[in-house]
C-alpha cells in the first residue's frame, strides 16, 4: 500500500509540475508574440491541450507499468493490456468522462481517483489562465480583435 501511495504522489507531482511549466512557458511566449491577440489565445489553447495530453500520458504510463508489475491492482473489462488502452483509460479518467468499459481493481483505484481530481483541478487552472490571458489582451485596447 505504501508503494502505490508513493507512486501516486510522484505521478501527481509530475503532472502538476508539467502543467505549471507549460503555463509559465505559455505566459512568456504569449507576451513576446506579435500580431493579433487571437493568435496568442489560440497558441495558449493549443499549448494547454498539449500540456493536458502529456499529463494524461504520464498517468497512462503509470497504469501500464502498474498493470505489468502486478500486485497493485489492474485494469479489467474491455482492456487488452496495451499502452494505448491505458492512454484511452487515462483520457476518460482525467476528463472525468468515465465510459466505464475499463475498470480499476485493487489499490490502483486510488490512482484513478487522484487522476480524476488532478484532471479537474488542472483543467480549471487552464480555464482560469486562459480567461486571465483573454482579459489581459482585451484590456489592452478595451475590445477584442
Asked if residue 27 belongs to a domain, the reply is no
Q: What is the pLDDT of residues 26-76, one digit of tens each?
A: 999 988 888 888 888 899 999 999 999 999 999 999 999 999 998 899 999
Residue 101 has pLDDT above 60, yes or no: yes
Asked if residue 114 belongs to a domain, the reply is yes
Q: 102 with 88: CB under 8 angstroms?
A: yes
pLDDT for the residue numbered 133: 85
Q: 85 with 60: CB under 8 angstroms?
A: no
pLDDT for the residue numbered 142: 52
Q: Exposure string (b/e) for 8-43, b if CB count within 10 Å is 16 or more?
A: beebbebbeebbeebbeebeeebeeeeeebeebbee
Asked if residue 32 belongs to a domain, the reply is no
Asked if residue 145 belongs to a domain, the reply is no
Contacts of 109 (CB under 8 A, 6+ apart): 73
pLDDT for the residue numbered 62: 97
Distance CA 136, CA 145 (A): 13
Q: 89 with 79: CB under 8 angstroms?
A: yes
Asked if residue 9 belongs to a domain, the reply is yes
pLDDT for the residue numbered 81: 96
Nine cell digits for residue 56: 494524461
Taking residues 8-22, report their average pLDDT: 98
Asked if residue 12 belongs to a domain, the reply is yes
Residue 145 has pLDDT above 70, yes or no: no
Distance CA 145, CA 132 (A): 16
- Overall domain count for the chain: 1
Q: Which of 45, 23, 4, 9 shows the shortest CA–CA distance to 118? A: 9
Q: What is the pLDDT of residues 70-100, one digit of tens each?
A: 889 999 999 999 999 999 999 999 999 999 9
- Residue 143 banded pLDDT, cuts 50, 70, 90: low
Query: What separation in angstroms does the CA of 102 have from each of 29, 70, 79, 92, 129?
Result: 39, 17, 6, 10, 32
pTM of the predicted structure, to 2 decimals: 0.91
Asked if residue 29 belongs to a domain, the reply is no
- Residue 103 banded pLDDT, cuts 50, 70, 90: very high
Write out the residue range of the structural domain in which residue 65 sits: 2-20+37-138
- The CATH number linked to 97 is 1.10.287.70
pLDDT for the residue numbered 14: 98
Asked if residue 84 belongs to a domain, the reply is yes
pLDDT for the residue numbered 87: 98
Amino acid at each position: 500500500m505504501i508503494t502505490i501511495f508513493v507512486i501516486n504522489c510522484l505521478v501527481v507531482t509530475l503532472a502538476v509540475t508539467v502543467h505549471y511549466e507549460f503555463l509559465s512557458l505559455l505566459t512568456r511566449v504569449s507576451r513576446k508574440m506579435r500580431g493579433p491577440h487571437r493568435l496568442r489565445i489560440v497558441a495558449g489553447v493549443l499549448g494547454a491541450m498539449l500540456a493536458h495530453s502529456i499529463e494524461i500520458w504520464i498517468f497512462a504510463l503509470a497504469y501500464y507499468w502498474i498493470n505489468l508489475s502486478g500486485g497493485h491492482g489492474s485494469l479489467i473489462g474491455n482492456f487488452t493490456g496495451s499502452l494505448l488502452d491505458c492512454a484511452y483509460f487515462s483520457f476518460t479518467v482525467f476528463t472525468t468522462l468515465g465510459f466505464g468499459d475499463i475498470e480499476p481493481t485493487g489499490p490502483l483505484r486510488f490512482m484513478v481517483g487522484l487522476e480524476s481530481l488532478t484532471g479537474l483541478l488542472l483543467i480549471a487552472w487552464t480555464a482560469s489562465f486562459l480567461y486571465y490571458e483573454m482579459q489581459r489582451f482585451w484590456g489592452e485596447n478595451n475590445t477584442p480583435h
